[in-house]
């Protein structure tokens, strides 16, 4: 399996992401934001977390115009899988590849901790290795993770099985750390080949570091 990890100025999770997918047996290439195409054998494109362009305008808003996004959009449009993690999720919403937007956390503070998530839909490549309503423990680290979508869009998400994950406690009860609509932690597009989430599965690959639940999340792409 060939994975491309996109790197912008300010990205800080590219090497964590590289490690995670290599641990699962993938060939991984980190691609700088000035590139305009990927190799033809690319299976998955990951837009990694961090602070692209320092989040100076709005999270993901500048990165959306980087040359590499031409290749990301082209890969998605031909049915290739794309995963946006944290800042990558923000970039994909700014680019119009995913619905909704990410706002400042409700408490206006940066949040960095492990948090539980419940699988809302596993009828997709990304979460195929997890069961419906499974609860996983995955780190979050964001200042602008408050997912917003209007009421019409929210209904459409549920109608099309696009809501992937909810923030919960360890028992699967809603526990919303940032004010996201319906405590939504991740969504996908209608075609179910573009995925985005604020939590960091690439940081949950070793039990000695509090959780290896990220393995089950990312393994879905290897099916």
The number of residues in the chain equals: 223
Q: Does domain 2-222 have CATH number 3.40.50.880?
A: yes
For residue 46, the cross-strand partners are 5, 83
Pick the closest to residue 174 from 115, 109, 106 (CA basis): 115
- Determine the Cα–Cα distance for residues 122 and 32; give it in Å rounded to an integer: 32
- pLDDT tens-digit profile, the chain (223 residues): 999 999 999 999 999 999 999 999 999 999 999 999 999 899 999 999 999 988 887 888 899 999 999 999 999 999 999 999 999 999 999 999 999 999 999 999 999 999 999 999 999 999 999 999 999 999 999 999 999 999 999 999 999 999 999 999 999 999 999 999 999 999 999 999 999 999 999 999 999 999 999 999 999 999 7
Residue positions annotated with a catalytic role: 86, 200, 202
| 151 CB burial (10 A radius; 0-12, 13-18, 19+) | exposed
- Determine the Cα–Cα distance for residues 29 and 19; give it in Å rounded to an integer: 11
- Determine the Cα–Cα distance for residues 178 and 159; give it in Å rounded to an integer: 24
- Determine the Cα–Cα distance for residues 130 and 119; give it in Å rounded to an integer: 8
Domain positions in the chain: 2-222
Q: 6 and 35 in contact (C-beta within 8 Å)? A: no
Pick the closest to residue 197 from 52, 51, 66, 86 (CA basis): 86
Helix (H) / strand (E) element for 77: namely: helix 68-77
- pLDDT of 173-197, one tens digit each? 999 999 999 999 999 999 999 999 9
Tokens of 70: 């031409």
What pLDDT is attached to residue 55? Answer: 85
């Amino acid at each position: 399996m060939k994975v491309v990890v996109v790197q912008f100025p300010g990205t800080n999770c590219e090497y964590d992401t590289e490690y995670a997918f290599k641990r699962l047996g993938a060939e991984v290439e980190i691609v700088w934001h000035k590139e305009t195409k990927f190799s033809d054998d690319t299976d998955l494109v990951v837009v990694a977390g961090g602070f692209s362009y320092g989040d100076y305008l709005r999270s993901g808003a500048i990165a959306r115009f980087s040359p590499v996004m031409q290749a990301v959009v082209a890969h998605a449009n031909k049915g290739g899988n794309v995963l946006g993690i944290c800042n990558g999720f923000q970039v994909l919403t700014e680019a119009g590849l995913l619905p909704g937007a990410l706002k400042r956390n409700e408490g206006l503070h940066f949040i960095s901790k492990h948090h539980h998530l419940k699988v809302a839909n596993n009828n997709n490549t990304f979460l195929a290795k997890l069961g419906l309503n499974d609860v996983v423990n995955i780190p979050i680290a964001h200042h602008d993770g408050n997912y917003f979508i209007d009421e019409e869009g929210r209904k459409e998400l549920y109608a099309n099985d696009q809501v992937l994950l909810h923030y919960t406690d360890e028992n699967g009860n809603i526990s919303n750390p940032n004010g996201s609509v319906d405590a939504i932690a991740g969504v996908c597009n209608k075609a179910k080949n573009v995925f985005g989430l604020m939590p960091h599965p690439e940081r949950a690959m070793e039990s000695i570091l509090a959780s290896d639940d990220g393995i089950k999340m990312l393994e879905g792409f290897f099916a």
